[in-house]
Amino acid sequence: MPSMTSGPIAYFNGAYVPVEDAKVSIMTHAFNYGTGLFEGIRGYYNADEDNVLVFKLPEHIDRMARNCRIMCMEVPEDQAAIEEVCVELIRRSNFKEGVYIRPIVYKSECSLGPTVKGVASSFCCYIITLGDYCDTQSGLDVAVSSWRRLSDNAIPSRVKSTGGYINSSLAASEAKQAGFHEAVFLREDGTVAEGSAMNIFLVQDGKLITSPPNADILVGITRNTIIQLAKEVLGLEVIERNIGRSELYVSDELFFCGTGAQVAPVRSVDRRVINGGTPGPVTLKMQSVYFDVVQGKVPEYRHWCRPVY
Ligand code: PMP
């Protein structure tokens, strides 16, 4: 498990409060029906600048705002105000280390009945300090899950809904109980979707291959970042297409990516060893570029990093 320490300050009901005072009723709609949606955003500590840099903050808040439409949600705070809350929480908590920001929009009414229309929503946000979410050095042992990925016509994965994470929880737990680090979801049609909380990339003949946006995935902001950096910095071809399960076993290299996962090499799938069980050269290059970019060290992409202090 990642090491987590609760940040002392949260944003709740329009005010900055100690996180222990940010509490909802057991009758809350989102608590009963899973009608919340959220984001996960990282801030990286840059020691040279003695500052925390929040990565792709507007992109995360934009995704959340778009997903609010699917869930028929409206909140008083606009996107700029929500971005400000995220940054302000780090300042008020006085964090000078790696942080993880968790904005949530949720159906906050205490009303009965599963519906998205006509139930009032609220915005809240908390932060924690966070190091690695999963191992990024030695490679992960992963297993194809017996649980299928949620389909877009059931609970859209792109929503990043609280209720939808039952699916991820079942798959991740199954994998861990069986002695693996992580799970890979297949879709109902048997093609590869993603990990429990991360997107997946194959390296084949020097090209990157990843599932397309309509493959029941959360269209990750890290995924989009990797696609752009692979093309622009490493000059790689990137192909978005459906992936068959057995392609995982025969790939040259495999890696997960996500805000939490960052760029995490995969060293085996269902006990089939990938690249001799060590992170491959393309994965390592990708990882190195990614870590430089998120820490604000690459001038061309510095605009993706928002300084907090
Ligand atoms: N898929 C799922 C199911 C996730 O929970 C996450 C983490 N947010 C991702 C992919 C990666 O998305 P992002 O890069 O935007 O964090």
String of DSSP letters for 202-268: EEETTEEEE--TTSS----HHHHHHHHHHHHTT---EEE---BHHHHHH-SEEEEEETTTEEEEEEE
The whole-number pLDDT of residue 83 equals: 98
Q: Is 23 a catalytic residue?
A: no
Give the residue-averaged pLDDT of 1-15. 71
CA of 150 from ligand 1 middle (Å) equals 14
CA of 61 from ligand 1 middle (Å) equals 14
CB of residue 259 inside a 6 A radius of ligand 1: yes
| pLDDT tens profile 237-268 | 999 999 999 999 999 999 999 999 999 999 99
Rounded Cα–Cα distance for residues 309 and 307 (Å): 6
Q: Is the pLDDT of residue 278 over 80?
A: yes
CA of 183 from ligand 1 middle (Å) equals 14
40-67 in b/e form (b: 16+ CB < 10 A) is bbbbbbbeeeebbbbbbbeebbebbeeb
H or E, element range at 303 = none
The whole-number pLDDT of residue 5 equals: 47
Q: Is the pLDDT of residue 6 over 90?
A: no
Residue 266 has phi, psi (to 5 degrees) of -110, 130
Q: Is the pLDDT of residue 56 over 60?
A: yes
| pLDDT tens profile 21-52 | 999 999 999 999 999 999 999 999 999 999 99
| Catalytic choice (23, 160, 176, 207) | 160
Q: What is the pTM of this model?
A: 0.96
Is residue 89 within 8 A of residue 7, CB to CB? The reply is yes
What tokens were used for 130?
A: 């966070």
CB of residue 41 inside a 6 A radius of ligand 1: no
CA of 48 from ligand 1 middle (Å) equals 29
The whole-number pLDDT of residue 288 equals: 98
Q: Is the pLDDT of residue 96 over 90?
A: yes
Rounded Cα–Cα distance for residues 214 and 87 (Å): 32
Is residue 216 within 8 A of residue 152, CB to CB? The reply is yes
Q: Is the pLDDT of residue 2 over 90?
A: no
The whole-number pLDDT of residue 8 equals: 77
Q: Is the pLDDT of residue 167 over 90?
A: yes
The region, left, alpha or beta by phi > 0 then psi within -120 to 50, assigned to residue 94 is left
The H helix count followed by the E strand count for the chain is: 7, 18
CB of residue 223 inside a 6 A radius of ligand 1: yes
Is residue 272 within 8 A of residue 227, CB to CB? The reply is no
CB of residue 58 inside a 6 A radius of ligand 1: no
The whole-number pLDDT of residue 1 equals: 41
Determine the residue of 199, 200, 217 to mutate for testing ligand 1's pocket, defined as the one with the most ligand atoms within 8 A of the Cβ atom.
199
Give the residue-averaged pLDDT of 287-308. 98
* Residues of the chain above pLDDT 90, percent: 96
Give the residue-averaged pLDDT of 75-92. 96
The whole-number pLDDT of residue 112 equals: 96
- How confident is the prediction for the chain on average, in pLDDT? 96
Is residue 183 within 8 A of residue 143, CB to CB? The reply is yes
Walk me through the domains of the chain, giving residue ranges and CATH numbers: 9-129 (3.30.470.10), 140-294 (3.20.10.10)
Q: What is the amino acid identity at position 289?
A: V
The whole-number pLDDT of residue 7 equals: 52
First to last CA, the chain: 30
C-alpha distance from residue 151 to each of 10, 142, 154, 162 (Å): 33, 22, 5, 15
* Residues of the chain above pLDDT 70, percent: 98
| pLDDT tens profile 199-233 | 999 999 999 999 999 999 999 999 999 999 999 99
CB of residue 258 inside a 6 A radius of ligand 1: yes
Three-class SS of residue 283? helix
